[in-house]
Amino acid sequence: MNVVELGDGLFRRCGDYRALIFEDREYRSTELRSMQLRLARGLRDLGLRPKDRVAVITPNCPEVAVTYGAVWRAGGVTVPILFLLAAPEVRHILIDSEPTIIVTSPEFLPLVQEAGAELSPAPRLLVIGDDAPEGTESMTQVIASSDEREWMETRDPGDLSAILYTGGTTGRPKGVMLTHGGMVGVVDSIVDAAELADGKIALIALPLAHAYGIITQLVGMKVQGTAALMRWFDAEGALGLIQKYRVQNFAAVPTMLVYMLRHPEFDSHDLSSLERVGSAAAPCPIEILEEAERRFGCPVFEGYGLTESTIACCTQRPSQPKVVGSVGKPIPNVTVKILDDGDREVPSGELGEICIKGPNVMPGYYRMPEVTAQTVRDGWLHTGDVGKLDADGNVYVVERKKDMIIRGGLNIYPRDVEEVLHQHPAVAEAAVVGRPDELYGEEVVAFVVPRTGEAPGAEELIEFSRARLAKYKSPKEIYFIDSLPKSGVGKVLRRELRARVRTGSQPAMKV
């Protein structure tokens, strides 16, 4: 087994077709397949061996999908890295994953060189494009000089295909290990449950380094269609591409929908080609969902999953009545139970922790066996999300992991932000929570207790954070407070801080 067999099977079934549109250039399936075969050979020539890791940090472009496929074909493990991350965050991922090769684009080469300066042995650097700065290789030249012969490294279903790093509640990102068998099984289940058909044109605006974006690419390796790919999302560009290419399917996070719905030129675009919109990665408020369905003129189907569940778990079915507030039913071969604190199943309709079992459950966190044992128990993935099941098997996500913030579909763990704030010499204590935001779903808010005699400014702390974190993780607001509310054992009571923000009862200063 090898996840790249999905694409091989599709090519055998459909042959040559328009597979991709990127910045007004069309790519045929034969061209992309040739690039993938050649790059796989080139990666082997650069030293890649089965089970070696290849880190990929670049904006969306055709070469991202080609690279993933080439790495899998060569038996390697992909390590997608979101280009929005700051150098210290990238450095941790590179040190932890120890890639043999790093693939990047010219604009992010300085970031990669800074973040990877401590790696030993130093990985090979492969830069997208024709130019190869000193100490790097040109992807264009590697592809051009490599053999196109058909080949593939056979993998076992349990062999690793990817490591996706998530924000860390323990102070550092966790690498979620995904397998070839898990990926192939999830794709088959999604295609079945979502009732996806050949011949559609889809807009891909999600980052291909994000779990949600990766699953859209994998589905595209199974179902024949044309992907209109955006380098990165912007509302005007997305609306224009839908109109220009008569896009039928569109996968989004709620923030994307809000940006598009609020765009002043929304009504001037012809979106009548849309047949369905998918929404996942963060809860979509019912008001936004209903407005999107009305103004897009098509249904919006919600889904639910975690990186640890190989990205997908539940989805609404187009052929079944939509149940408002539900994220649908489990995809085929996946079981969902609602368990209490003693891991006992609760009755239908009662709240508990959403737990998942199936071939999609990750084998664990990379090099973190103790954390893995806490998360996956007796084969059940404990999500930390509170939810319920109705009598018909529909899943409802009532509350997310209590501490995690989801801003624009991207997960932010308060501990990551707090660790940075605590590095500032004027900060004695810091606690981070989310507050509701119409555009992003949530914004990051920090409560700071200054050191005695210190009076840091809010803007100063925000700039301090932005220099050490991805911009989307940095606090939007800073509240200065005399002391943090704590339990009898000294644990910060985040629920009280969230209540202060949401009720407007916090009188402290903010930006």
Kindly indicate the confidence band of residue 137, based on its pLDDT and cuts at 50, 70 and 90.
Answer: very high
Rounded distance between C-alpha atoms, residue 79 and residue 103, angstroms: 10
Q: How many CB atoms lie within 10 A of CB 260?
A: 25
Element (H, E) at 187: helix 180-193
Angle between helices 414-421 and 458-466 (to 10 degrees): 110
pLDDT at position 400:
67
pLDDT at position 440:
93
Rounded distance between C-alpha atoms, residue 491 and residue 489, angstroms: 6
Residue 271: closest CA among 243, 248, 241: 243
- pLDDT one-digit tens code per residue, 212-267: 999 999 999 999 999 999 999 999 999 999 999 999 999 999 889 989 998 999 99
The answer to whether the CB of 502 falls within 8 A of the CB of 494 is no
Tell whether the model's pLDDT for residue 198 goes beyond 60: yes
* Three-state SS annotation for 372-422: HHHHEECCEEEEEEEEEECCCCCEEEEECCCCCEEECCEEECHHHHHHHHC
CATH of domain 300-399: 2.30.38.10
Q: How many CB atoms lie within 10 A of CB 368?
A: 19
Kindly indicate the confidence band of residue 473, based on its pLDDT and cuts at 50, 70 and 90.
Answer: very high
Kindly indicate the confidence band of residue 171, based on its pLDDT and cuts at 50, 70 and 90.
Answer: low
Domain ranges across the chain: 5-15+26-179, 300-399, 405-503
Tell whether the model's pLDDT for residue 166 goes beyond 90: no
pLDDT at position 169:
40
pLDDT at position 492:
81
pLDDT at position 286:
84
pLDDT at position 254:
87
Tell whether the model's pLDDT for residue 285 goes beyond 90: no
Total-model pTM: 0.87
Tell whether the model's pLDDT for residue 491 goes beyond 90: no
| Distinct helix (H) and strand (E) counts, the chain | 15, 27
- pLDDT one-digit tens code per residue, 28-61: 999 999 999 999 999 999 999 999 999 999 999 9
pLDDT at position 416:
84
Assigned superfamily of 5-15+26-179: ANL, N-terminal domain (3.40.50.12780)
b/e burial code for range 106-142 (CB count within 10 A of at least 16 → b): eebbebbbebbeeeeeebbbbbbeeebeeebbbbbbb
- pLDDT one-digit tens code per residue, 56-93: 999 999 999 999 999 999 999 999 999 988 899 999 99
The count of residues in the chain is 511
pLDDT at position 281:
84
Tell whether the model's pLDDT for residue 420 goes beyond 60: yes
> 31: left (phi > 0), else alpha (psi -120 to 50), else beta?
alpha
More confident position, 253 or 486: 253
More confident position, 240 or 429: 240
Rounded distance between C-alpha atoms, residue 91 and residue 114, angstroms: 8
How many angstroms from the chain centroid is the CA of residue 39?
Answer: 25
pLDDT at position 167:
65
**How many CA atoms are closer than 13 Å to the CA of 325, on its beta-carbon side?**
7
- pLDDT one-digit tens code per residue, 441-453: 999 999 999 988 8
- pLDDT one-digit tens code per residue, 324-382: 889 999 999 999 999 998 999 999 999 889 999 999 999 999 999 999 999 999 999 99
Tell whether the model's pLDDT for residue 168 goes beyond 50: no
Kindly indicate the confidence band of residue 490, based on its pLDDT and cuts at 50, 70 and 90.
Answer: low
Structure tokens at 447: 């409560």
Distance linking the first and last C-alpha atoms of the chain: 53
Kindly indicate the confidence band of residue 390, based on its pLDDT and cuts at 50, 70 and 90.
Answer: very high
Rounded distance between C-alpha atoms, residue 446 and residue 461, angstroms: 10
**Mode of pairing for the β-strands spanning 352-357 and 410-412:** unpaired
Rounded distance between C-alpha atoms, residue 471 and residue 465, angstroms: 8
User: Considering just the CA atoms, what is the radius of gyration of the chain in Å?
Assistant: 23
Rounded distance between C-alpha atoms, residue 68 and residue 50, angstroms: 14
Residue 70: closest CA among 34, 100, 105: 34
Residue 356: closest CA among 375, 378, 382, 333: 382
Kindly indicate the confidence band of residue 506, based on its pLDDT and cuts at 50, 70 and 90.
Answer: low
Q: What is the mean pLDDT of residues 261-277?
A: 96
Angle between helices 211-220 and 62-73 (to 10 degrees): 80
Q: What is the mean pLDDT of residues 427-453?
A: 92
The mean pLDDT of the chain is 93
3-state DSSP percent of the chain in helix, strand and coil, to 5 = 30, 25, 40
Tell whether the model's pLDDT for residue 505 goes beyond 70: no
For the CA atoms of 455, 456, 459, 462, the dihedral, rounded to the nearest 10 degrees, stands at -150
Element (H, E) at 225: strand 225-229
Tell whether the model's pLDDT for residue 511 goes beyond 50: no
Instruction: Name the percent of the chain lying above pLDDT 70.
Output: 96
Q: What is the mean pLDDT of residues 301-309?
A: 95
Residue 53: closest CA among 72, 38, 35, 39: 72
Whether domain 405-503 has CATH 3.30.300.30: the reply is yes
Q: Cβ neighbours of residue 488 under 8 Å, at least 6 residues apart?
A: none
